[in-house]
A and B are shown apart, each in its own frame.
Chain A
Amino acid sequence: MLNMLLFLLQSNPDAIAQPVYADNSSVWRHMSDALHQSVYRVLTLLIAVLPGILAFFVALVVFSLIGAVLSAVLRRVLVLFKFDDRMAQARGNTEWTPSAPPSVLVARVCFWAWVLIGLLIGVAAFDTSYAAGTPLPISLLPYLTHAVGAILLLIAGTLIARFLARSVLIGAVNAQLQYARFLSLGVKWLVLVLTAAMVLDHLEVGGNIVELAFGILFGGIVLALALAIGLGSRDLVSRSLESRVERAGERNAGPQNVSAQGPSETIRHF
């Protein structure tokens, strides 16, 4: 009976919900300890990482400066030896047409190579100090590197989308396709959707949902384009194929056709 009474007294809800402290100031002491430990941990982490960050920036700046000086010297030397003229003579009229003279390109490659070396050395220094200085886990750092890769993917995808959209637009306009703009936009969004899916996948955001959504969206765009082209230009495609076959037949007949002067009302561009 006495045991029963003791149990009932212990099972009082107020007694369970509010732990009984002997001293109220001990709560603040615990909180203060927790805060102190957390601040200490963060400061320790920063102190451990700071030299690495400084080393990273110093390496980057120093090697960038070296790269700038060397590229300037290299460019002067190349100009002195008429490198651009020699390259133009050797290269002829190739399809590859860079946006800057070869000497500038070589100088730029030199500069960016030094910057890259500085970057690698800086990262190595940072890595060393980080690994040695702190055992604390940081989940942000790998995510940041992924973010950089994702940004590069996004930039490349956007550039490719713009280039392809412009190519398709010009080609379609010259082919007199009435849906030229639609086709161009379709290609542009196709590439942009692909890029977005790759970026999200790279960031490991969304998981299967992104893959599924991308599959549906991409397939939908392709199907829409196929239907639009297939239904809208059946006649055009058949005419194009017919003329191609006829042209091939004429070509197989040999060069006799070149001598025939057409009627004067036909346009001869060359």
Chain B
Amino acid sequence: MKAGAVAASAGDFSPKRMATPDPISVATSVLERPAADLLVMVAAMPADQLERVLRNLTAAFPAESLLVATQNEFASGAFADLRIVLAPPTGAAWTSTAADFANAFELAREENVRAVLLLGPGSNSLNAAALRALAGAVLSSAVDLAIPFYSLPPYAGLINSAILYPLTRALFASRIRFPQAIDLCLSLRMAERLAAAAHRFTASNQPDALIWPVNEAVAAGYAMDEFDVGPRALPQPADVDVNATLSLVTGSLFADVEAKAALWQRPRRLPPARRPLPDWIKSDGAPEAARLIESFRFAYTHLQEIWSLVLPPNSLLGLKRLSITDAAAFRVPDPLWARIVFDFLIAYRLRTINRGHLLGAFIPLYLAWVAGHINITAAGCSSERHIEAVAAAFEADKPYMVSRWRWPDRFKS
């Protein structure tokens, strides 16, 4: 089938953001087509980037084994040997949403493919070898979930480094460095599992909700692995307001942790580290931490009353010390940070205060961690080494988390 045919069928497609029984417009009948092994779901992106992605795909895989579903109306004849279909548009601007997973499985089931490769916006920066590594592991049935390991600058993906990775590693015993990676490769059963999780959100008209593939894989007992894919231009949320993004991502993860409480409370052994710490990408210059420190101090003078509802006296004492620490020596100790995140997670579960207020009050503390991280890396410590130390602190404090989760009243005094 020629790619140009897709554009001809585009007029029949009514935009939807949720999975439907027949969400995909395909120009040719199923009988005429050879079966594809790999379904590639490509997010909406500019035409030149899409062309680059398609070029990388054709370089990595035989064209006949691929079925590409794109949200772009693609009319170029340059990839005539590729089967390209039109996928329903979703809100995947900076991360995969529930609607993406639901649509992916729907199409994968219809086309009877063996694996699904989800590529987010900006995935043109992933080379052919990276795509081959991701999809190859799933196609060879080695794993059900292949997740990329991106080489990012030291001050990128900080929410992931400060909260998502350490928390996922401590609770779900997974070393996946980017639990919310925008590019993924899924086996069919993994796609089905994620679609089932996504359906809960799409059914309640929340197609943009976040899904946590690593947590789902752990819950299902599926094998997963991560693959070094090199540098990646990570798309950023359209709303540059960090408050909204942090609340959205952290709230979603906290809710997922709450839903899987019975799972992560069981003792689970962390698999041994299989990759060495990546080379330190030295930045040209550290960002200004002083502004972040000032914002923390300002919050300390105003939000103490709210923090005291959530944090135990020891943590409050640690914050008090931080508030009077010199800007150059400012850093949030790893055990204190782990304890703060755990206490906020507990408060989220117990609904100590309104959840919107809780996540809002968490933001200045996260910014304090960022300021400390900047100072630490500026002092010469590798960013990855610091993040690993933070994750280790989370692991060490997991017994506290489990105890408080089970017997919250014991810690009220």
Contact = CB atoms under 8 A, between A and B. Distances in A.
Nearest to A88: B259
Interface string B230-270: 01011111101011011001011001100100000000000
B295 A176 contact: yes
B63 interface: no
B354 A166 contact: yes
Nearest to A261: B233
A258 B360 contact: no
B325 to A, nearest CB: 20
B351 A258 contact: no
B287 A265 contact: yes
Contact of A267 (B95, B209, B370): B370
Interface in A89-103: 89-94, 97, 99
Interface of B: 44-46, 49, 93-95, 121-122, 124-125, 152-160, 200-201, 203-204, 206, 209, 231, 233-238, 240, 242-243, 245-246, 249, 251-252, 255-256, 259, 281, 283-287, 295, 298-299, 302-303, 306, 351, 353-357, 360-361, 363-364, 370, 374
B157 A268 contact: yes
Contacts of A6: none
B235 A258 contact: yes
Contacts of B200: 89-92
Contacts of A88: 259
Contacts of B363: 174
11 contacts: A92-B200, A166-B354, A169-B303, A170-B361, A174-B363, A181-B302, A251-B238, A255-B44, A255-B121, A265-B284, A270-B157
A267 B366 CA distance: 13
A265 B160 contact: no
B234 A270 contact: yes
A8 interface: no
A167 B357 contact: yes
A259 B49 contact: yes
Given A166-B353, A259-B122, 17 more contacts: A90-B204, A91-B200, A93-B255, A176-B295, A251-B238, A255-B235, A256-B46, A258-B233, A259-B49, A259-B124, A264-B154, A265-B285, A266-B155, A267-B155, A270-B94, A270-B159, A270-B160
A82 interface: no
Nearest to B155: A267
A258 B259 CA distance: 32
Contacts of A181: 302
A251 to B, nearest CB: 6
A36 interface: no
A264 B235 contact: no
B158 to A, nearest CB: 5
A166 B306 contact: yes
Q: Which of A171, A256, A269 has the most CB atoms of chain B within a 10 A radius of its CB?
A: A269
A247 interface: yes
Contact of A264 (B95, B157, B237, B283): B283
Contacts of A263: 284
Given A166-B357, A170-B357, A251-B238, A265 B286 contact: yes
Which range contains the number of A residues in contact with the other chain? Answer: 35 or more
A79 B242 CA distance: 40
B55 to A, nearest CB: 15
Contact of A163 (B256, B287, B354): B354
B48 to A, nearest CB: 9
B206 A267 contact: no
A259 B231 CA distance: 12
Nearest to A100: B351
A99 B374 CA distance: 38
Q: Which of B160, B252, B303 has the most CB atoms of chain A within a 10 A radius of its CB?
A: B303
Contacts of A267: 155, 158, 287, 370, 374
Given A258-B122, A270-B160, A265 B206 contact: no
Contacts of A180: 302
B153 A93 contact: no
A269 B94 CA distance: 12
A166 B298 CA distance: 16
B201 A92 contact: yes
A-B complex: 7 closest residue pairs judged by Cβ atoms = A258-B235, A170-B360, A264-B283, A268-B156, A92-B200, A264-B153, A92-B201
Contact of A94 (B46, B206, B303): B206
Contacts of B284: 263-265
Nearest to A172: B302
A167 B157 contact: no
A173 interface: yes
Contact of A173 (B157, B160, B251, B299): B299
B209 A92 contact: yes
A97 B303 contact: no
Nearest to B248: A270
A264 B155 contact: yes
Nearest to B154: A264
A269 B246 contact: yes
Contacts of A20: none
